[in-house]
Amino acid sequence: MGTGFNFFVGSPTSDDNDRLRGVEDFINVSRQFVRVVNSILTEDGIREDSWRVLRLLSRSHGVSMGEIALHISLPTTSTTRLVDDLVDEALVFRRPSSDDGRKALVHLSRDGAERLQRIDAMLSARMPELERIMPGVDWRALSAALS
């Protein structure tokens, strides 16, 4: 005898269950990974989002605030505060865009490049610890797949 309520739309297939298990595993591994990375970054007194901004700027010749916000997945107001903090630490600087003088681009400063080099060396030295979380990973392939 039915209650008139059908809470189940359908049963997940075994493929669905495999995918969902994969999603769950990915979340667990990524959280472990982020915990280790953040502990390393904390040793240098920098936050993960700040490090990610420095990494982005190291690969470019000026980035807009909107591009930074998109890259680090933060609202524009939070990104502005983060970049303001990096400017206060002399790790980055703003300069008007040569294409549109109304728009400011953010650039990596010499101090920022030196700090990033130090942080990246710390992370590189601890790669074995990170690799234990994700053994056998082809880091180039992973980066390409996630880009």
Report the pLDDT value the prediction gives residue 98, as an integer from 0 to 100: 85
Predicted confidence (pLDDT) at residue 5 exceeds the cutoff of 70: no
Report the pLDDT value the prediction gives residue 3, as an integer from 0 to 100: 54
Q: pLDDT digits over 106-132, tens only?
A: 999 999 999 999 999 999 999 998 888
Which residue shows structure tokens 């053994």?
135
Tell me the domains of the chain and their CATH numbers. Answer: 49-131 (1.10.10.10)
Predicted confidence (pLDDT) at residue 139 exceeds the cutoff of 80: yes
Mean pLDDT of 81-93: 98
Report the pLDDT value the prediction gives residue 10, as an integer from 0 to 100: 60
Q: pLDDT digits over 13-32, tens only?
A: 777 788 888 889 889 988 99
Mean pLDDT of 84-92: 98
